[in-house]
């Protein structure tokens, strides 16, 4: 194997696949990146058995990419990435000598690495299904950003560490919950799906995939769903993740249909007053604040015996004139509010021990739920 390649081209590909390089080293070969060089393309693959990422670098321009000898080799991922990143040259030469010795050189630098035979790399099947689902890349990124944060970090409930994707016809519903809050996004697909799906994708994995998506809003993500895995195809990247087995809880019954009171508030102002009130909460995990209304004034309070207390006020609009009092986690509420990109939000109050529902008349596809906390 021997090639000359533009540094930026190789670094972009390595940055994409490096997210799947194994750091646990249970299988040493998975700490490497598989290079497969053909006449006009270089395929890079990395996997940690949880996710697999493959990207294909092609170029008709010999100034970008010149192949002198085809071949395959596995190169230690950490080292090849660091070397390529730090070399100042515009072009990098990679050559395999004596079967498993790798020579990486430029005009003034030379690195010799030990490679690994491709025969040691596990067989990876990145097949595409015949029934793909297509979603605009920006819409897909929004879905994940607006839901993934609400999933659980507790491995004791593995099913809750993922995002639930339910597809039926032309409707895609995504849910994420850790039992104390819920994020839901419902969108209409451009093309109806032939089959219905109900899958759970690990949140960490799907967040890693969205980091590969660029700002090109005109591209689509292809979703290929199988029994135990899902494959995402985006431009020249294939990203495969395992699915979490099990039945995701039915979250629909958590959402009350009617609210006793709807409070309309400016999103940025509400976020800011909760943020400031949370400064004086003693428990940073729960950081409980209390919301009260007095006429058209909304008050956010917090207090700590050791620290002191705070009172923040802002003007809101209420659907009924009664006053309410309810406590909740400031962090959970702030993360829920941050998911919206609108000017105003609607706080739906159902009862003092009922879930708080956050919506927006400008973004009806998104619903956030935060459970109240008893403070007495």
DSSP per residue, 362-375 = T-TTEEEEE-----
The whole-number pLDDT of residue 28 equals 85
- The model's confidence at residue 285, banded by pLDDT at 50, 70 and 90, is low
Q: Span 115-130, mean pLDDT? A: 92
In this predicted model, what pLDDT tens digit does every residue of 309-362 receive, in sequence order? 999 999 999 999 999 999 999 999 999 999 999 999 999 999 888 999 999 989
- At residue 72, the 3 state secondary structure works out as strand
The whole-number pLDDT of residue 327 equals 95
Of the listed ranges 172-186, 206-220, 222-236, the one predicted with least confidence = 206-220
- The model's confidence at residue 63, banded by pLDDT at 50, 70 and 90, is confident
Interatomic CA distance for residues 352 and 238, integer angstroms: 47
Q: Span 18-31, mean pLDDT? A: 85
Of the listed ranges 2-16, 211-225, 272-286, 302-316, the one predicted with least confidence = 272-286
Q: Report the side by side order of strands in the sheet with 162-168.
A: 197-202, 162-168, 171-177, 181-188, 366-370, 356-359, 344-349, 261-266, 317-318
Q: Taking 90 as the threshold, does the pLDDT of residue 155 lie above it?
A: no
Q: Which residue has the tokens 């897909």?
A: 140
Q: Taking 80 as the threshold, does the pLDDT of residue 79 lie above it?
A: yes
Mean confidence (pLDDT) of the chain: 93
What are the counts of helices (DSSP H) followed by strands (DSSP E) for the chain? Answer: 6, 26
Q: Taking 80 as the threshold, does the pLDDT of residue 99 lie above it?
A: yes
**In the chain, what percentage of residues exceed pLDDT 70?**
98
Q: Span 94-119, mean pLDDT? A: 93
In this predicted model, what pLDDT tens digit does every residue of 156-181 receive, in sequence order? 999 999 999 999 999 999 999 999 99
Which of the pair, 60 or 218, is modelled with greater confidence? 218
Q: Which residue has the tokens 């995002």?
A: 163
The whole-number pLDDT of residue 286 equals 65
The whole-number pLDDT of residue 275 equals 94
Helix (H) or strand (E) holding 7: helix 7-17
The whole-number pLDDT of residue 203 equals 97
**Residue 246 DSSP one-character state:** S
- Global pTM reads 0.93
In this predicted model, what pLDDT tens digit does every residue of 240-264 receive, in sequence order? 999 999 999 999 888 888 889 999 9
**Ranges assigned E (strand) in 21-78:** 32-37, 41-47, 51-58, 65-69, 71-76
Give me the torsion for CA of 130, 131, 136, 140, rounded to 10°.
Answer: -110
């Amino acid at each position: 194997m021997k090639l000359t390649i533009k540094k930026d081209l190789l670094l972009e590909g390595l940055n994409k696949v490096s997210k799947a390089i194994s750091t646990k080293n249970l299988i040493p070969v998975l700490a490497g990146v598989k290079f497969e060089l053909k006449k006009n393309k270089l395929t890079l693959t990395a996997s940690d058995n949880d996710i697999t990422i493959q990207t294909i670098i092609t170029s008709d321009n010999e100034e970008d990419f010149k192949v002198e000898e085809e071949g395959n080799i596995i190169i230690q991922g950490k080292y090849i990435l660091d070397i390529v990143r730090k070399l100042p040259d515009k072009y990098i030469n990679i050559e395999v000598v004596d079967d498993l010795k790798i020579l990486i050189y430029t005009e003034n630098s030379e690195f010799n690495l030990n490679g690994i035979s491709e025969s040691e790399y596990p067989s990876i099947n990145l097949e595409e299904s015949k029934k793909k689902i297509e979603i605009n890349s920006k819409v897909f990124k929004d879905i994940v950003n607006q839901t993934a944060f609400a999933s659980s970090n507790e491995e004791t409930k593995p099913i809750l560490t993922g995002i639930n994707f339910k597809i039926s016809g032309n409707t895609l519903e995504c849910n994420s919950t850790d039992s104390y809050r819920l994020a839901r996004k419902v969108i209409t697909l451009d093309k109806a799906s032939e089959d219905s799906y109900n899958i759970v994708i690990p949140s960490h994995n799907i967040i890693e995939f969205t980091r590969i998506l660029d700002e090109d809003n005109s591209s689509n993500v292809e979703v290929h769903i199988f029994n135990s895995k899902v494959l995402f195809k985006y431009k020249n990247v294939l990203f495969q993740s395992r699915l979490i087995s099990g039945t995701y809880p039915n979250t629909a019954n958590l959402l009350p249909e009617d609210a006793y009171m709807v409070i309309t508030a400016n999103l940025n102002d509400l976020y800011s007053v909760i943020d400031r009130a949370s400064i004086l909460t003693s428990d940073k995990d729960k950081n409980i604040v209390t919301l009260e209304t007095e006429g058209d004034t909304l008050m956010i309070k917090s207090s700590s015996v050791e620290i002191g207390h705070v009172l923040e006020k802002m003007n809101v609009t209420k659907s009924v004139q009664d006053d309410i009092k309810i406590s909740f986690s400031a962090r959970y509420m702030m993360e829920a509010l941050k998911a919206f990109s609108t000017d105003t939000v609607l706080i739906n109050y159902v009862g003092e021990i009922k879930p708080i529902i956050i919506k927006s008349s400008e973004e009806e596809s998104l619903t956030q739920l935060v459970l109240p906390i008893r403070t007495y």
